[in-house]
Homo-oligomer: A and B are copies of this chain.
Amino acid sequence: MAGTDHTQPAADAPGPAIILVAPQLGENIGTTARAMWNCGLCDLRLVAPRDGWPSEKAVAAASGADVVLDKARVFETTAEAVADIERLYATTARRRDMVKPVFTPRGLAGEMRQTMARGDRCGVLFGAERSGLVNEDVMRAYGIVTVPLNPAFTSLNLAQAVLLIGYEWYTSADETPPGVLEIGEGTPATQGEIDGLLEHLDHELTLAEYYREPNLRPTMQKNLHNVFRRAGLTEQEVRSFRGVVARLAEWRGRRPQK
């Protein structure tokens, strides 16, 4: 989704449609739009928003996600809002006593990627802030989405719920490594460069009589060396530390005596 075009019409959006059924507060529509655009989603559909549309409060709360609000479409009924969608999912925190597939947001993301890969449109229904979706709307859906969170406190803000669905959708196609040492413009130091630093350090520490107990020397060296070995040093950092060692050594003996 990295290359999402700001000018792309919502109806052709390459992600699932987000359908808010009877949303109450304009602010929540705005924060939903912001969360959607964070995740590259821009097909927002509103069913009978309580406080009307367009909404100045929505614009203020969208914090710049105008591309989503500008393309948002308003419908009178859920049936009209989802008429063009091949596969529909309903978000709900409560068990509805319906026989349906139930997905986590992560499971849903995989499901929707597969569905959209065959060219079918997906949509996710979200209910009103306090009451959620009515059973009639849940019944329309192929499957249910439930976010597995703290069972003692499952009440998610509307935009937060949309964010979690969008986040899983977005990251399911994202290839950012889960953890990596970021070294910017620098380059990692070679083993030879690190060896050079450690030999320099040992040499100066020996001159400075740091290793007073010869039998403890191997352990003391091992402890010091391990810090530098595991730090994943860059070339620049090796040079910096050689400068530190050289400077401390140069000043040895010149410190004013107490």
Q: Which residues of A line the B interface, CB within 8 A?
A: 1-2, 4, 6, 31, 34-35, 37-40, 63-65, 95, 97-104, 106-108, 110-111, 143-144, 147-157, 159-160, 163-164, 167, 170-171, 174, 176-186, 232, 234, 237
Contacts and interface: CB of A to CB of B under 8 A. Distances in A.
Given A65-B153, A100-B181, A104-B177, 8 more contacts: A35-B160, A37-B153, A38-B156, A98-B182, A101-B180, A147-B167, A148-B171, A163-B163
Contacts of A159: 160
B34 A97 contact: no
A31 B170 contact: no
A101 B230 CA distance: 12
Contacts of A98: 182, 184
Contacts of A184: 95, 97-99
A100 B237 CA distance: 12
Given A6-B152, A149-B170, A163-B160, A102 B179 contact: yes
A38 B170 contact: no
Given A31-B157, A163-B160, A237-B99, A182 B144 contact: yes
A79 to B, nearest CB: 22
A122 B245 CA distance: 32
A86 to B, nearest CB: 16
A232 B102 CA distance: 13
A149 B234 contact: no
Contact of A150 (B1, B107, B155, B177): B1
B63 A150 contact: no
